[in-house]
Structure formats: C-alpha cells, structure tokens
Amino acid sequence: MIFVFAIFLLSLLVITSIAIVRTTNLFVAVMLTSIFSFLMAANFFILDAADVALTEAAVGAGVTTVIFLCALALTGEREKPRINGRKTARVAVAILASLMIYATFDKPRLGDPDAPVHQHIAPWYIEKTTEHMDFPNVVTAILSSFRGYDTLGEVFVVFAACIGVLFILGVPPPAQKRLNKVVEQNKGLRHHLIPQVVGRLVIPFIVLFGLYTQFHGEYGPGGGFQAGAIIATGIILYALLEGENKALQAVPRSVLLGMVIGGALLFGSVGVICMFMGGNFLEYSVLSADPIWGQQLGILVIEAGVGMAVCGALLSIFHAFAARENVS
C-alpha cells in the first residue's frame, strides 16, 4: 500500500518541480512550491516521520508561501526573460541528479532492519529514552536532549534570519517614493464575507492545535518548532483577514522581538544553569534530584523557548515585509 502511495506522491512531486522550473509567472511558481511542500509533507507522513511532516506543512506550505507572496507584492509578478545560462544549468542539474541516483544503487532497502542506520545508534536511543526520560516519543528525546545542541543551533539560525530581515528591510526606502504615495491603511479582506466567517471560526482552533503540539510533544508528534510555526500561521491568517494593523494591535512588534530574544535566551540559559548545577551544557538530568524529572523539566522549558522564538521570528519576518508594502 505504501508503495502505491509513494509512487503516486513522488511522481506528482516530479511533475510539480518541472512545472515550477518551466513557469515564468512567479505567482504560479509560488503556488506550486506550496503544493510541492504539501506533497513533501504527505511523503514524510507515509514514511512515518510525523514530526517532520508537521513542520513541512506549517512552515513550507504555510508561512513560506505567505512570505513569498509578500515579497512578490513588493517586486513583480513576472520573471525577467533570460536566454543564456538556462542550458548550462539544466545540464548541471541533470549530471548531479544522475550522480545521486547512482549513489542510491547501493543503498540499503527502505525499512531494512539490518541497515547501518538502524543497527548502530538507533537502538541506544530507543532504549535510553525510556530509561532517562520516561516518555514514548523518541524523536522529541533526540531533538531536545540527545542532540539538543543542534536544536539550540537551529533556534539561532531562526534568530539570525529574523534579525537579518529586520536589519535589511529596516532601511527607510528612498524618500521621494514615500512623498508621492499616501500611506493607505491595509484593510485586509475585511469586506469579503466568506473568508471572514470561515477564518474567524478556524483561527482559534489553529492556535489551540499549536498549543496542543507544544505541550504534548513528549507523547505525540510535535514540539516547539511545529507549535511555533502553527501558532504563527494562525496569527498571520488573522492579519490577512483583518488587516495587518489589527494583528499588530493584538501582538505588537516589540512583543514579537521580545519573544524571539526571550525564547533564544531561555533555551540557552537552561544550558548554562545545567553547567552551574554541576553538569555539562544542556545536561538536564542535574536540574532536579530525580534525573528523569530533570530531563522532562529541561525538555519542557527548552521546547517552550523554541516555540516562542520560532513563532516570534516568523511573525516578525511577516510584519517586516508587510510594513514595507504599506510604505512604498
């Protein structure tokens, strides 16, 4: 059954990516990348990687599409025609693709229990998660404790992206443009009844689902990253429906920046506190007299930090683009 699904989804993926390359209308391309992300999420899901599927659906198909559209609103919809260079690019991609396919000839069969990936460190993770954390989701255990340092790094990648957008789009646009255009209030879709009604109904559930993923990460798929992205999508939807200013009234810019900084620092300071309490950096076991509770507490706090940072960063990036749109 998985085989049939996989063939279906993967051939759709190929068709979508060819269409993305061929189209010259950037709006179409953005929509197609969104579809690509959804297909990818479905693919991850049938491979039993629910955590990754959630992230891909929320970030890839949701937030990225909105940000791409904001960028298109600032630039233009059509690609500039380019004649040279396309052929070389195609040849290069073809060579790389065949190399990678060649590399997979010797790959262990999908799901082979004897594959090195399943033989070496995976059994250790499965065994130690119950022993040290006492909760069922091994993925959460790996991401937030066994390889928590990587996750801290990823949070700082998100932080870097956020300050990068704020820094670069923070330049005031050339003055003459601003004089010519009256600043008009972005009203969103307030005059469209159907999106309004549906949106109002859906938004609370999106945010609630985000909170569920945040606090239920130890037991089911999810965690701070997914939760942050899902909550951000909910608020972005609100901004699209009610106008950006309404959303900013609800959650002002300073709060968003505070969430990014606070989230990143919260994660980092848990690590530093572990050091002060006699462990290594991010060694949560020392946080409490009972090492299992220590691990759980540490994971809970750092996941909260991740959620805050991701949600704040995505929203800050969105508002930075949207503000630019209103001015120029």
Partner 1 sequence: MDLIAHLPALQVVIPMLSAPLMVLLQPRGLAWAGATVVALVSFAMAATLAIGVLNGLTPQYFMGGWPAPFGIALSVDAFSAVLLLIVTGASAGALLAAKPSVDQQVEEERQPLFYAAWMLAMAGLIGIVVAADAFNIFVFMEISSLASYILIAGGPDRRALPAVFKYLTMGTIGATFYLIGVGLIYMMTGTLNIEDMQNRIGDVTDINPILVAAGFITIGLALKAAVFPLHVWVPNAYTHAPHMVTVFLAACATKVSLYVLIKFDYLVFQSRLVDHDMQFALFLMPMAILGILIASAVAMFEGHLKRLLASSSIAQIGYILLCASFISTLGLSASVVHLFNHALAKGGLFLAVACLAYHYRDLRLDQLGGASTKMPWTCATVVICGLSLIGIPGTAGFISKWLLISASLQIGPWGWFLVAIILLSSLMAVAYVWRIIEALYFKAPVEGVGPQSEAPIQLLAVTMLVAALNLYFGFFPQVPLELATEAAGMLLEGAQ
Give yes or no for residue 280 binding partner 1 (CB under 8 A).
yes
Judged by CB under 8 A, which of 75, 81, 87, 105 binds partner 1?
A: 105
Q: Site residues for partner 1, window 246-265 (CB under 8 A)? A: 257, 260-261, 264-265
Structure tokens at 305: 């930090």
Judged by CB under 8 A, which of 76, 111, 136, 170 binds partner 1?
A: 170
Give yes or no for residue 106 binding partner 1 (CB under 8 A).
yes
Chain length of the chain: 328
Judged by CB under 8 A, which of 156, 212, 215, 293 binds partner 1?
A: 156
Residue 287, H or E segment: none
In angstroms, what is the minimal distance from the CB of 158 to partner 1?
A: 10
Distance CA 165, CA 40 (A): 27
Structure tokens at 260: 């990014």
Compare residues 3 and 105 and give the one whose CB is closer to partner 1.
105
User: Would you say 243 and 186 are in contact if contact means Cβ atoms under 8 Å apart?
Assistant: yes
In angstroms, what is the minimal distance from the CB of 173 to partner 1?
A: 12
Judged by CB under 8 A, which of 150, 204, 327, 328 binds partner 1?
A: 150
Structure tokens at 125: 């993770």
Compare residues 16 and 285 and give the one whose CB is closer to partner 1.
285
Amino acid at 326: N
Residues binding partner 1: number (CB under 8 A): 60
Segment near partner 1 (CB under 8 A); pick from 52-60, 80-88, 242-250, 280-288: 280-288
Sort residue 23 into left (φ over 0), alpha (ψ -120 to 50) or beta.
beta
Give yes or no for residue 73 binding partner 1 (CB under 8 A).
no
Distance CA 226, CA 120 (A): 28
Among 74, 269, 278, CA closest to 165: 74
SS3 78: strand
Distance CA 316, CA 211 (A): 20
Sort residue 186 into left (φ over 0), alpha (ψ -120 to 50) or beta.
beta
Neighbouring residues of 230: CB distance < 8 A, sequence distance ≥ 6: 54, 58, 206, 207, 209, 210, 213
Give yes or no for residue 166 binding partner 1 (CB under 8 A).
yes
Judged by CB under 8 A, which of 9, 19, 128, 139 binds partner 1?
A: 128
Give yes or no for residue 275 binding partner 1 (CB under 8 A).
yes
In angstroms, what is the minimal distance from the CB of 209 to partner 1?
A: 28
- Binding site residues, partner 1, CB under 8 A: 99-100, 102-108, 115-122, 124-125, 128, 145-150, 152-154, 156-157, 159-161, 163-164, 166-168, 170-171, 257, 260-261, 264-265, 268-269, 271-272, 275-276, 278-285
